[in-house]
A = this chain, B = another copy of it.
Amino acid sequence: MTYAAPMVQANPSKPSVDVNALVECIKACFDCAQACTADVDADLGEQQHLQEMVRCIRLCLDCADMCLTTGGILSRQIAFEPATARAALQACALTCKVCGDECERHAQMGMAHCQTCMEACRRCEQACNTVLSFLPA
């Protein structure tokens, strides 16, 4: 149902990093962007706790944007530029870590939407770090 794997395979340009790591990271980026977008909205619906959710909303907005940008960069295989990919992946991994930490605080207080968003952030952070480990230094 997701198209990341067949699109990587069918691309005339060879991927510059391990295919499995690349596909997982592309999927994790787009999935995390959707989860963060949805978590912003779920946070806005927490009427009794709205003030406490402001930082989470802000970080989820940043994270959704950064994940889409990084997922887009990784979806492109032609004229791949390791240096810019590295900078994007580092920014994305950090943004996911900070956002995931904030979501975890709310998850521990029982917010299921923040629990799910935290999982999306943790997975994306790890996927970015895995691709980083395959990039030339």
Contact = CB atoms under 8 A, between A and B. Distances in A.
Interface of A: 1-4, 6-13, 26-27, 30-31, 33-35, 37-42, 44-47, 50-51, 54-55, 57-59, 61-62, 65-66, 68-69, 71-73, 75-79, 81, 83-84, 87-88, 90-91, 94-95, 98, 111-113, 115-117, 119-120
B41 A47 contact: no
Copies in the complex: 4
Given A37-B75, A69-B68, A79-B55, A90 B91 contact: yes
Nearest to A113: B10
Contacts of A8: 38
A87 B84 contact: no
Q: Main SS of the interface on chain A?
A: helix
B62 A6 contact: no
Contact of A38 (B41, B50, B51, B75): B75
A95 B42 CA distance: 21
5 contacts: A2-B2, A30-B34, A50-B50, A50-B54, A81-B98
